[in-house]
Amino acid sequence: MASRRTWTWPPTTTKPGFKETQGPKFSPLRSGEGENTQAHSQLENPQSRSETEETQTHSSVEHDPNGSEGEDHQSHDDEEDAGSCSQGPGPLKVESSKHETPSTGLGKLFHSLRLDTVYLFSQEIRGHSVVEEKKVAMLGDMRSACYVSLLHILPTTASIMLLVLNWKGYYIGDELQGPVGQDGLRFLGLQFAAKMLELLAMASLSTILFALIRSRLIYETLPFGAMTTGFDFNNISLLWSKEFVATCGATTFSSSRIKTLLVSTIVVFTILGATIGPSAAVASQPVLRNWLGGGTVFWLNATSQELWPSNLDGVGLPDLPCTSSQNSSCFPPNYSLLASEMLSFWPFPSSVSADGGTVARLMPEKASIAGRYSIHTLEARFIGPFIYRPYLTSATTPSAAVADALSQVARYWNNANTHQCSVGKTCFHYYNDIFYTVNALQPLTFVRCSASDINATVQFPRLDQGIGKYPLVNYSSTTIGSLQWFDAATSNGTNPGLSWVELPAADFGRASVGAAVALPGTKSKTGEDGGQIFACTIDARWANATATISFLGGPMIVSGTPTGWLGGTQYLLDSTGLPLWPQVTIAPAWAESVSSIVTDSSESVFTSLCNSLGRQGNISKAISPINAVEAILAVMITDGLARTSSLATILGSLKGLDKGEWIYEFLPKDSVFGTGGSAFNYTYQQGDQSTKFELITAVNGYGYGVTAAPLLSTLVLLIYCLIATIYVVHSICFARMTSSSWTSITELVALAANSTPSSVLKNTGAGIATLGILKQPVKISVIDNRLQMVFDDREDADEIIQDELYG
């Protein structure tokens, strides 16, 4: 790179063979050197250059009689050496090398965007020399203010896009958009984009904080400890640093409002610096979850008391008994399903066992119960020789009427969604699974039995004392438990027998009904292997649950269990002192209808289930027969309760069936996610014998929406956007002033090096150990025509002038 030459005085070198002179002499300088010298000032000011030229000529004549000769030689030497300057009687002519400075518009743009390195590197590649010139500390230029605003546009725009995306909602599908099976790379790309947003936002916040600190340093004073907060605000430890503590304790602010503004800004910016990165990462990542996909309100033509009666008297179920001649109102023989899918797997003893009986026993805890338009799943948990041992044998299943309605309405939703996708409107085209749910009551039954011998006093357990507290209470009947009753119930010891009894609340507390079971022995009616009598207490409830159909779990298969149904929730009371789950009082006549004779062989449901236990044909041969009886009674009563008002149907027809108005009622209307409307044209009237339900559809897939983590993340981004927008508007519309000075540690050190040392900083060369130094007020002022850090109130310090060049 070509060197620059300037005048130096007095001369410092002579060429060999020539007499030393005191005339003007040229000295080569590297680019950027000597710009504050007198000669450089002469190049900038033609008038000053002429005066200097006359002074130098006069001085040469006085001190060197042969000056003209030396001058001629020097001029000749310079022409050979550099050819850049000439000395003669005419005006001085200078040919400086080309150079570009950051004062150009392109340089200002790159400087405002913190891209000085890019600009300087491009100048180096082009062979241009960038020299340090005087600079303007405060620019009152609208263009420069706009340049600085560009730094905030990209992170603010990206943040706003994430805000809109999460708050308005956007559904993607079962995986991210793009090639199938490449979600890992796409998530990695989103992480990189979030990191870039974090870096841009931090640069934006840094610019804003520097603007506040710079304005305090120029127009007022600032505690010395607060000067570097613009470099440290992205470190949370700043909040307990000695610099921040000193700033909070300083009393040199012009007003408490200024101090509050500065301290609060530092706190907010530090918190943003610590949270904006994770917030950007969370807000940019789509969430895999169940998104609300619509639904509808519908009504069944039965009252809540008909669907979930609190008292079941002698009136039997409308669809029982079911004989081999089926009709439209009759259910399939569910007892056979319970037997084949659940009870037939009850463990039984074996004389030959490969594991020696050490392997824990298991059995199915679910069975499918057929309805008219759906299948509802019965779930149970049994006491017995199993891994899982609940406090009480229990069983539950959704009500048949609710399951049928849910299955029907779910198919309507699927048709509506398919139609919207086919016409190119907003829909849920791709998904991992779809869940259709209805909140409703469903039966839940608890059973516990106690064993006694024939002709012994029968004792029923009391179940309302809490978990694990089931005291036995004597039954006053003289018939139940006698040998005559046993023979009649078991057909002289050939089949299991069952009698339903009422348990008075005064003695047995809250109980739905009692069951006395006569179990014949394996060899004879009496003796070692003789029969047994089980006294069983049944506690039936209507429990709050959510009936659900899962698309992958099988269309039309309804399942659901109450929350905490195995943990003693049945003992909880509501605010009125009544049971949280209403209890059902069952009359023996109604219970008898559940176990009525339903086969051509004149065999009751109870007997058939007992004979199916473990595929042994005899319940007495099974392991733990008393627990097997508890299991049979639990599933029988639960299945019977689920059939109450099973013929209830949906009221009304689909709205605008010919025009498809019902389609828009099933899907979210005003947003991407949400509940639906009312797809049926039925309107409830006072006194109608009907019950209201609501189908809620949830689609499992990736999407953006308002959930807990994205909500907090978007709030952080919203705060940043507000701060950046307020700053940009204030800079362009009101202040119309900007500056990019002292935005790096190097520039701040350069300012300190150019400042006159102050006694305030005595003994701080190796560090600062007291808060008093950090509380000292500091200001940037003009002294000796250059900017300096001033600690003392000096009379020769001048205010910085807008658009003025300073060295």
Residues with Cβ within 8 Å of 723's Cβ and at least 6 positions away in sequence, in order, are 205, 208, 268, 272
**Separation in Å, CA 40 to CA 6, 104, 180, 222, 680:** 7, 20, 67, 35, 90
Are the C-beta atoms of residues 399 and 644 closer than 8 Å to each other?
Answer: yes
The pLDDT, as a whole number, for residue 21 is 41
pLDDT tens-digit map of 620-667: 888 889 999 999 999 999 999 998 888 899 999 999 998 889 999 999
pLDDT tens-digit map of 299-349: 999 999 999 999 998 655 544 445 544 444 444 457 788 888 898 888 877
The two three-digit tokens of residue 351, written as one number? 């004389």
The pLDDT, as a whole number, for residue 481 is 85
Neighbours of 687 (CB within 10 A): 6
**Separation in Å, CA 769 to CA 85, 235, 245, 247, 589:** 56, 21, 13, 15, 92
Whole-angstrom distance, CA of residue 600 vs CA of residue 98: 113
For residue 392, give the DSSP letter: S
The pLDDT, as a whole number, for residue 346 is 87
Mean pLDDT by 10 residues, the chain (807 residues): 39 41 40 40 42 43 42 43 41 40 59 68 71 80 78 93 94 83 87 94 92 89 90 89 91 88 94 94 94 96 94 63 47 73 82 60 88 92 85 94 96 95 90 96 96 90 89 88 89 87 92 93 54 93 96 92 90 87 93 72 81 79 89 93 91 92 92 93 92 96 90 94 93 81 87 89 89 91 89 81 84
Are the C-beta atoms of residues 321 and 640 closer than 8 Å to each other?
Answer: no
Whole-angstrom distance, CA of residue 786 vs CA of residue 752: 12
The pLDDT, as a whole number, for residue 78 is 43
Residues with Cβ within 8 Å of 40's Cβ and at least 6 positions away in sequence, in order, are 6, 34
Give the count of alpha carbons within 13 A of 86, CB side only. 8
Are the C-beta atoms of residues 530 and 561 closer than 8 Å to each other?
Answer: no
Place of tokens 């627990």: 627
Cis before 89 (ω within 30)? no
* Predicted TM-score of the model (pTM): 0.74
Are the C-beta atoms of residues 460 and 536 closer than 8 Å to each other?
Answer: yes
**Separation in Å, CA 21 to CA 16, 66, 84, 132:** 12, 8, 21, 33
Cis before 223 (ω within 30)? no
Burial of 642 per CB tally in 10 Å (0-12, 13-18, 19+): buried
SS3 for 519-580, per residue? ECCCCCCCCCCCCEEEEEEEEEEEEEEEEEEECCCCCCEEECCCCCCCCCHHHCECCCCCEC
Whole-angstrom distance, CA of residue 531 vs CA of residue 761: 103
Strands 497-501 and 459-461 come out as unpaired
The pLDDT, as a whole number, for residue 261 is 92
302: left (phi over 0), alpha (psi -120 to 50) or beta: beta
**Separation in Å, CA 382 to CA 128, 386, 649:** 88, 8, 34
The two three-digit tokens of residue 520, written as one number? 């014949």
Strands 375-381 and 557-559 come out as parallel
Nearest to 250 by CA among 227, 230, 222, 217: 222
Per domain, the residue ranges of the chain are 4-94, 105-133, 142-287+708-740
Whole-angstrom distance, CA of residue 340 vs CA of residue 367: 9
Q: Which residues on neighbouring strands pair with residue 447, listed in sequence order?
A: 393, 538
The pLDDT, as a whole number, for residue 130 is 62
Contacts within 8 Å (CB) and 24+ apart, 797-802: 799/218, 799/219, 800/137, 800/138, 800/218, 801/138, 802/138, 802/139, 802/140, 802/737
The pLDDT, as a whole number, for residue 42 is 41
Whole-angstrom distance, CA of residue 66 vs CA of residue 535: 140
> Does residue 91 sit in helix, strand or coil?
coil
Helices (H) and strands (E) in the chain, counts: 22, 24
